[in-house]
């Protein structure tokens, strides 16, 4: 069977970021996309992708623009079939200090993407979310929660047009910008690793695992879902001991807006979640319509009411060997 991406024109917002570049490589190598548009606001990063990092495929288009600019997005979306929305401001301390900028990009930008996709007739749109959106305690998580609501309910604005919106939500990406892994790799040269709290746990996956999940969900989505992969957990203490064995651990205290453990599916969300073998699928709380292709009730079972999927209660834990292998495979990319 052919793929959704074969012959399709695809646009990736935030295409010069860690996730965006891995997504671009994957789409170019695995699928016969007709055109692949990298939409981002930093011309230097685009030029470096083009000249230094080998992104020279003739199917690529580098489109300068900010997701806050709806008219520019409307221009960029011409002829696009699939949009992957990965652009965001995500550094927690910076966003706590610059809250209005966070709202303008992560929420206002999401609105602009939704409007441009509907007006241009983009068929499928997937937004990239985070575990920080569940029971948020910092502004970044709060803006991502609103972004999720905008995208899942964006189907109401699109109906009866062809555009469909969904989200993927997952945990910490090993080695992405802002990840603790590159910091630990750097600090191990000093013999001392700083951790906020040794008891802290997180969900972990590689960039490639995140990209593969998004690709698969785009091909399966009916519209309105939030897709959550079943991924492994590991404590910060064990991550540090694996990355820098023999180093001294120095606890510096939990930072403002930081949780001890993360949750990917909350107790409240379990009431409208389906559990499959390798993921959870959250249906929208208000259905715009139940499309014929909606079949999650036939593919999985209802999540146990009142349960949650959290990093500390996860049945799947990374071993030190597995983490080292993931880092060696390019997780620190």
Positions marked catalytic? 132
314, 235 Cβ separation under 8 angstroms: no
Single out the residue of 274, 261, 262 nearest to residue 304, CA to CA: 274
Q: Write the CB contacts of 321 (distance below 8 Å, at least 6 apart in sequence).
A: none
**Which residues fall within 8 angstroms of residue 316, CB to CB, at 6 or more apart?**
230, 231, 232, 233
* Conformational region of residue 134, where left means phi above 0, alpha means psi within -120 to 50, and beta covers everything else: beta
Residues 6+ apart with CB under 8 A from 263: 131, 134, 135, 308, 309, 310, 311
> Is residue 56 reached through a cis peptide bond, with omega within 30 degrees of 0 on the bond before it?
no
What 8-state DSSP symbol labels residue 173?
E
Alpha carbons 99 and 90: distance in angstroms, whole number: 11
Q: Where are the alpha helices (DSSP H) in the chain?
A: 18-30, 43-51, 70-76, 92-97, 99-102, 109-120, 139-158, 180-187, 207-220, 236-243, 296-299, 320-326
Angle, helices 207-220 vs 18-30, to 10°: value is 60
Count how many residues are written for the chain.
Answer: 333
């Amino acid at each position: 069977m052919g793929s959704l991406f074969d012959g399709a024109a695809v646009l990736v917002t935030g295409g010069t970021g860690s996730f965006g570049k891995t997504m671009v490589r994957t789409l170019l190598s695995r699928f016969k996309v007709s055109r692949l548009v990298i939409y981002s606001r930093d011309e230097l990063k685009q030029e470096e992708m083009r000249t230094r990092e080998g992104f020279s495929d003739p199917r690529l288009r580098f489109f300068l623009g900010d997701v806050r600019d709806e008219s520019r997005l409307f221009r960029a979306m011409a002829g696009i079939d699939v949009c992957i929305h990965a652009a965001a401001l995500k550094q927690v301390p910076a966003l706590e200090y610059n809250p209005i900028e966070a709202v303008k990009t992560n929420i206002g930008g999401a609105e602009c993407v939704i409007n441009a996709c509907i007006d241009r007739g983009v068929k499928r749109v997937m937004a990239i979310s985070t575990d920080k959106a569940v029971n948020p305690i910092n502004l970044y998580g709060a803006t991502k929660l609103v972004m999720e609501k905008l995208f899942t309910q964006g189907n109401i604005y699109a109906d009866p047009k062809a555009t469909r919106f969904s989200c993927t939500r997952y945990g910490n990406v090993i080695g992405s910008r802002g990840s603790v892994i590159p910091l630990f790799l750097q600090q191990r040269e000093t013999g001392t690793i700083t951790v906020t709290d040794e008891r802290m746990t997180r969900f972990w996956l590689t960039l490639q695992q995140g990209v593969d999940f998004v690709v698969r969900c785009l091909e399966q989505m009916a519209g309105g879902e939030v897709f959550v992969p079943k991924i492994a957990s590991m404590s910060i203490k064990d991550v540090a001991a694996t990355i820098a064995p023999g180093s001294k651990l120095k606890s510096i205290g939990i930072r403002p807006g930081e949780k001890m453990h993360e949750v990917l599916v909350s107790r409240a969300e379990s009431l409208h979640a389906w559990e499959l073998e390798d993921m959870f699928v959250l249906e929208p709380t208000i259905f715009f319509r139940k499309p014929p292709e909606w079949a999650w009730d036939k593919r999985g079972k209802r999540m146990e009411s009142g349960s949650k999927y959290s990093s500390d209660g996860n049945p799947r834990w990374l071993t030190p060997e597995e983490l080292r292998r993931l880092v060696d495979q390019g997780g620190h990319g």
